[in-house]
Amino acid sequence: MELIQRLFLCVVDGTQLGEGEESELEIFNPSFTYPIFGNEEKIYGYKGLSIQLHFASGSLAQYLNVSYKSKIKARAAIDDVEGTLYKFIPPDYYKSETEFLKRVAKDAVEFKPLGNLIHTYTRRKRSGDDEELVKNGDNESDEKRTFEVYHVSPHTTWETPGFREYHRRMQIFILLYIEGGSYIQEDEDRWEFVVLYEKKKTQREDGQTLESYHFVGYSSLYPFWFYEDKTRLRLSQFVVLPPYQKQGHGSALYNAIYANIVSRETVAELTVEDPSEAFEDLRDKNDLLMLLKHEQFNLEGFGPGEKDGVKKKGKLGPPADKPWVEKWRRDLKIAGRQFARLVEMLILRSLDPLDAQARRAYRLQVKERLYRFNYEQLIQLEKEERLEKLEETFQNVHEDYQRLLALVD
């Protein structure tokens, strides 16, 4: 039977949990289960099988409930559901719902995020399910929701009291929501983590205000030596839970990570490990918005317009001024290929479709980068076929740039 329809994840919010009250549940399904149950994503030997993995919304303490209508008689063909999951979740998960709900209620009062607060933002509800960003300090209202981003620093990650255990509870989301995701090696002490929470304030019956924290998502990063005393930080994993997706929280988390990296003198640049298409879009969109808000980059890049009837070309050209581009790339700590793509998109955004010379210079700039990036494959082709392949790749890139620019215009 298909597992993807039988495994349910439940995040339990204990802020409203009191005597005789029901806990608040967010129920959702995983995107992938093959890392746990195999490529076919099937479990054999049961009828009416239901697997529910509950998480306390803050501490992520877990309660596993496996139920079914019946088992087949042949024991050898029955999969051990709990035994299989046991290999991927911490051994201290709850088997009693009553004891789990006691933990949920306790966490609502006692759980606090680990690490250092690096960013706060707020949102407010609009009509329906949509929300909009509220600038810090503006539009105070009861409908405002607060979100906080915490950073667990490298070298002290596993020494932070309680974080090793916390990481073991949250890492299963990597398997369930990232294609090809896997657990990291805990014997490496250089990992750092950025975790996003929703901070809720609840008025209790006794009149006191309860502050509680609820897990939204997280990212892991790993440093590599760059040059001298600098490091290159690689963003390795990035996940936001389904109840918070498509609301801008992924962008908020990414921008908090980027701002933190820019502020650190020892970090030379940010790279991303094997990003999915969805994450590439998120990254491109936010990097473009950052550059478009950068006044100096904008003004120097595109020049002052026309003088004596002659259009003046800025530093972005085309072709772009390479030393100027490299200076900004280093200052903004963006990896080389990513920054080159961003520059190409910004040029295309302002490119005059009637300026044949500029369009040709732009085309050559993009093709030069594509040729270098795909050199090993292209050099094996005959010249005519190589040129055809390069043109085909350029057209695909050009089309994708137009799609991405539509996200920011």
273 catalytic per annotation: yes
Active-site hit among 99, 179, 273, 368: 273
Q: Is 245 annotated as a binding residue?
A: yes
Cα 172 to Cα 54, 60, 89, 99, 168, distances in angstroms: 12, 11, 7, 22, 8
Q: Name the burial class of residue 99, with classes exposed (0-12), middle (13-18) and buried (19+) by CB atoms within 10 angstroms of its CB.
A: exposed
Residue 267 pairs in a beta bridge with: 231
Q: Which amino acid is at 141?
A: S
Q: Is 230 annotated as a binding residue?
A: no
- The three-class DSSP label of residue 247 is coil
Q: Is 250 annotated as a binding residue?
A: yes
Where are the extended beta strands (E) located within 105-257?
116-125, 131-134, 144-152, 192-203, 209-225, 231-240
For the record, the structure tokens of 70 come out as 């019946």
In 189-211, which positions are buried (b, 16+ CB within 10 angstroms) versus exposed (e)? eebbbbbbbbebeeeeeeeeeee
Q: Which amino acid is at 83?
A: G
Q: Is 249 annotated as a binding residue?
A: yes
Q: Name the nearest CA neighbour of 163 among 173, 154, 152.
A: 152
239 near 217, Cβ under 8 Å? yes
Q: Is 312 annotated as a binding residue?
A: no
- The total of other beta-carbon atoms located within 10 Å of residue 180's CB is 11
> What pairing do the DSSP bridges indicate for beta strands 267-272 and 231-240?
parallel
Q: Is 246 annotated as a binding residue?
A: yes
* Binding-site residues: 245-251
* Binding-site residues for acetyl-CoA: 245-251
- Which residues are marked as active site? 273
